[in-house]
Structure 1
């Protein structure tokens, strides 16, 4: 099974930053346990794959020629 990357550029950086911020806030107790939802954008940013993008046919990666 070959999963194609569909998250790139500014989208990737935003996911990593927002995800890391939410997880950090959950760890410090600044926000409730719902902050652990930050694991999702963090993982999709780090692995460059978003299952929802695959279903919707969205791709923010630049095409290499």
Structure 2
């Protein structure tokens, strides 16, 4: 597993993930959107924290400095 996210990418993912998790867990949104927000928020948070995105690997995207 090689880091494929740059620092800006990682920062934005962590912020977006925390916002989505908060929206879902605090029930600011309702219905099925709660689960959508929690799942995508968790994915963004984890990928932002570890610096690796499997989808980037499949699409051959690398925002990390070389």
* TM-score under structure 2 length normalisation: 0.85
Residues 1:13 and 2:11 aligned together: yes
| RMSD, aligned CA | 0.9
Distance 1:27 1:49 in 2: 25
Distance 2:51 2:36 in 1: 23
Distance 1:48 1:28 in 2: 27
1:24-55 per-residue CA deviation (whole Å, 9 max, x = no partner) reads 11111002232112101111100100001001
Q: Identify which range, 30-39 or 44-53, moves more after superposition.
A: 30-39
Which residue in the other structure is 1:42 paired with? Answer: 45
How many residues align structurally? 61
Which residue in the other structure is 2:35 paired with? Answer: 33
* TM-score under structure 1 length normalisation: 0.86
